[in-house]
């Protein structure tokens, strides 16, 4: 299993405070940020998005606090630039869709199910002048949402991966993938993706370091005829996986 990393992307707390002075309220005596505080995490990640990636991001008060660096590292495992891409479930930040459009010059379509998250995503896209086509998914994944006959070089997602609701970490729609290991949503995604990929196209899934989940999706992918590559990368202190399935 290859490991992949991209140097030391990050932002010192003192630099983040310059962008968002309110972060001073969450510094201890040694100048360290209290990342157990949700508000501090949001402000710090907004600072990283702005300073490193040139993005102005607003977070939903109750949505997942997505980290810009981990999302960028994921995209770098499969994007080369200029592809036509589809993101399934862009979330309230629309962060990966915006990165794909701005940093990788991709032609981007993205979907979102939740009404409030859709509104936040649209505002983030407009705030950044992002050339992203945003579609309300209304419960579907790809089929019935994307017009028949439209093909993409890459379909990617940070899919839900829990088998049951979690306690306060993610909303149910964000987190519950279903199935024995949380793989059901991802399996349905890769099944539907076959109808929407160009020749030599690929699906890329952003997944946690959860072996049974990865094995379940890999097994189904191989049954469907995909070639499967698992790229393990480290973002901060956590390992993540980019599971890349090619046709």
Helix (H) or strand (E) holding 201: strand 197-208
Q: Which two tokens stand for residue 160?
A: 């839900």
Q: What is the pLDDT of residue 209?
A: 95
| pLDDT of 1 | 39
Within 13 A of 164's CA, how many CA atoms are on the CB side? 2
CATH of the domain at 224: 3.40.50.150
Angle made by CA atoms 212, 213, 218, in degrees to the nearest 5: 95
pLDDT digit string (tens) for 68-118? 999 999 999 999 999 999 999 999 999 999 999 999 999 999 999 999 999
DSSP state of 30: T
pLDDT of amino acid 2: 46
> Would residue 230 count as lying in a domain?
yes
- Tens of pLDDT, residue by residue over 15-37, are 999 999 999 999 998 889 999 99
Compute how many other C-beta atoms are within 10 angstroms of the C-beta atom of residue 91.
26
76 is a domain residue? yes
Q: Decide: 189 and 141 in contact? Cβ < 8 Å.
A: yes
Q: 172: buried, middle or exposed (CB in 10 Å: 19+, 13-18, 0-12)?
A: exposed
Query: According to the model, what pLDDT value does residue 7 have?
Result: 52
Give Cα 194 to chain centroid, integer Å.
21
Mean pLDDT estimate for the chain:
91
Specify if 49 maps to a domain.
Answer: no
Tell me: pLDDT of 126 over 70: yes
Residue 221 CB neighbour total at 10 angstroms: 22
Structure tokens at 168: 């306060």
Residue 51: pLDDT band with limits 50, 70, 90: very high
Give the closest residue to 15 by CA, choosing from 3, 4, 27.
Answer: 27
Q: Identify the pLDDT of residue 182.
A: 82
What six digits make up the tokens of 175?
A: 């987190």
Is 31 within a domain?
no
Residue 173 makes CB contacts below 8 A (sequence gap 6+) with 113, 114, 160
* pTM, to two decimals: 0.92
3-state class (DSSP) for residue 105 = coil
Provide the domain count of the chain: 1
Judge whether 98 lies within some domain. Answer: yes
Region 107-135: mean pLDDT is 97
The pLDDT tens digits of the residues spanning 210-240 come to 999 999 999 999 999 999 999 999 988 889 9
Rounded Cα distance between 187 and 158, Å, is 13
Q: Is 10 helix (H, G, I), strand (E, B) or coil?
A: coil
pLDDT tens-digit map of 147-182: 999 999 999 999 986 556 565 555 555 555 566 778
Residue 43 lies in a domain: no
Lowest mean pLDDT among 50-59, 90-99, 178-187: 178-187
Lowest-confidence segment of 47-51, 55-59, 63-67 by average pLDDT: 63-67
What pLDDT shows up at residue 162? 54
Residue 81: give the domain boundaries.
67-246
Note whether residue 242 is domain-resident. Answer: yes
Cβ proximity of 147 and 119 under 8 Å: no
Residue 62 inside a domain? The answer is: no
């Amino acid at each position: 299993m290859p490991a992949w990393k991209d140097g030391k992307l990050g932002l010192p707390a003192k630099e983040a405070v310059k962008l968002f002075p309110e972060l001073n309220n969450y510094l201890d005596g040694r100048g360290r940020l209290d990342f157990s505080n949700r508000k501090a995490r949001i402000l710090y990640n907004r600072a990283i998005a702005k300073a490193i990636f040139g993005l102005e991001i607003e977070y939903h008060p109750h949505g997942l606090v997505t980290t810009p660096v981990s999302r960028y590292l994921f995209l770098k495992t499969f994007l080369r630039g200029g592809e036509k891409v589809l993101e399934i479930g862009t979330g309230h930040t629309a962060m990966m869709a915006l990165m794909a459009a701005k940093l990788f010059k991709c032609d981007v379509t993205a979907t979102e199910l939740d009404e409030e998250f859709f509104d936040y995503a649209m505002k983030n896209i407009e705030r950044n002048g992002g050339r992203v086509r945003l579609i309300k998914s209304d419960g579907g994944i790809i089929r019935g949402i994307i017009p028949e006959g439209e093909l993409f070089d890459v379909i990617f997602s940070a899919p839900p991966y829990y088998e049951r609701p979690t306690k306060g970490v993610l909303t149910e729609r964000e987190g519950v993938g279903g199935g024995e290991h949380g793989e059901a949503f991802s399996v349905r995604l890769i099944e539907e993706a076959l109808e929407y990929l160009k020749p030599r196209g690929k699906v890329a899934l952003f997944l946690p370091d959860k072996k049974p989940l990865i094995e379940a999706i890999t097994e189904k992918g191989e049954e469907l005829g995909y070639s499967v590559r698992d790229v393990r990368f480290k973002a901060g202190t956590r390992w993540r996986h980019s599971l890349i399935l090619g046709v």
